[in-house]
Structure 1
């Protein structure tokens, strides 16, 4: 009977394997093909986690999603290896919405994100190949693999999505989920009113805040939304800085993804105008100076299309993670966290 070696640091072993899988194409074509026959998940940039030995069942991870057996306890898995040191965010059943040629959405009572259609297809294709390898049946009909979605759950903060079919549960994390931007909301607003049941009058009196108070509010939002733990810093008084970075934080590490450093710029707008690209300068210089892998802008105004384009170009051309919080996202967040809203906008 073959004895399995105990892995004392599965996170470290997974980090090594992630780099190996990403760089295995340095091998010649025959070696790569042989490796993929033995480990079909690696063809799709997935690997079987070393934590499978400790948790008691096989599950597969990539940089953007996990593949987990249907009967497995998601709560235990996320608490051990998902980077959630404190409490796990509550999940709610989510609705899927597709309108005409617009990107489909998933939403629950508190959050809405774009549905990761392409990433789900890639993940389910990997799951199919894993099942084919397990059954070792050359005559197994691929059509027998039922990819019909049976259940969708979304975390309260919109940072974890779980999609289930008849074979597996697929977990997608915040860095692979695209938030709905302010400019897209009008397309779905009438449907939101009927199905989501969110109030439309949730605007905040931004004139009550000064720059320092707004940055403090952003700091508390980051703590609740990203769960960075102790790895978060607010850079002194707002007027004493050059505006390059207002807040700095690190996302928690999870299997398949290392901790990432983020830079946040906070822009308080009290007159109802838009935040334009000209008001956010030298983004790449700031990112390079502080060695960040993510950039976030938070504003009490509307983000105009020019700034969205600028940020999208940085994400596309440099591989930097981008997140934007306009007044809509912030006000929706505060509508879910009345303790923060009351602290900064008391009567």
Structure 2
């Protein structure tokens, strides 16, 4: 059985404790040191809690030269009190005991060896320590995370309320120095075991692209086992967002926090990374021909994102559902403490989705279980069929469609022209289509299309498509790919006999008109 270690509370560190601790150190035993954060759970001021974290962090970091740290964590003592506990061994007995005696008197203000002047110096050292927090390498970074979490989320507002200047001016000065604090984030403290940048908040973490997620979780999450993440799907069910993979399903109820994190990434991190092109050097000349250089900032106002583009977002979920990672433009936003679905809720989702899956299966079956006898058509009726398909197509504006004469007439390489629908962000674009009625046993090659490139350029088309009752061969596909690659023309609307059959099977109204 493992022997229990002695725990020494710094505020109770008296002569009896010293004698016992010396014996343990000489016997090379491990022991525990506890530093109380006395304001947590008792003070009405968040700044008192911030001061506790700063004070305890200072004391613990100053002890590091005298000890070998085995473990450290925040613990609850006697149900109500919060302590920071260090498990360690000592390798410098004299310095360690001397400093422990000093800390006890400074923290309790019960003076024996030291006095009030020493206490004033001690507080001055802590204030100086706070001003250097962002440049210190910490052995106990968890204390600094607690410091920032309380200062950023309520401490700044409490400080602002005590100022004579307007609150917004005070906060603007704070955010100018640490712009990430505006979004509720702070940089991870510099640690002896991890020197890559992470951004923490009380809601989630933001992990930059080149920082290892597994290592980060191992060091900072407090999770004992390695976290394995698997891609997850997102569904909306009864006004809730649900993420699920092969292991678990959770409710994702943190969309406002996710949007805040994305705004942070867009407006702060990415703007800092592109800072090299965020300003221009303007050269001005005086009347004597001398040059004056002036930096002109081209910094844009923050862009507020309220709706997330799903194409930029990938979800990952841990096997037990406790960790969610969302990848946005190579950045990872990590959330914890998820609400898992119970068996009854999973059954409810299945009952909701199953009828929809059945309908999709029916549509797929309809698309592949029937053929079209194109031989009963002719050149003119085939062009009319293509006209009807484009007329009903959701991407095109039916009021702009034009059939350029009868089949085999001189149409200038255009059988049908149509424009796309206008949207709030996209103007209409012209598409040109060629219709080729051929034997189903033949193939349509590039040589049978004519000078399509000149037609596209002549009419300024943004899209080009082909309808045929035959197979499209490699030469035509290569030509179309070249149009897309070299001049940016959309060639996604091309239909051989196979695509036409699938399309018509899904559109029974058009199919029944031509194939009775």
Report the TM-score when normalising by structure 2.
0.33
Higher relative contact order structure (alpha carbons within 8 Å, sequence separation ≥ 6): 1
Considering only CA atoms, is the larger Rg found in Structure 1 or Structure 2? 2
Report the TM-score when normalising by structure 1.
0.48
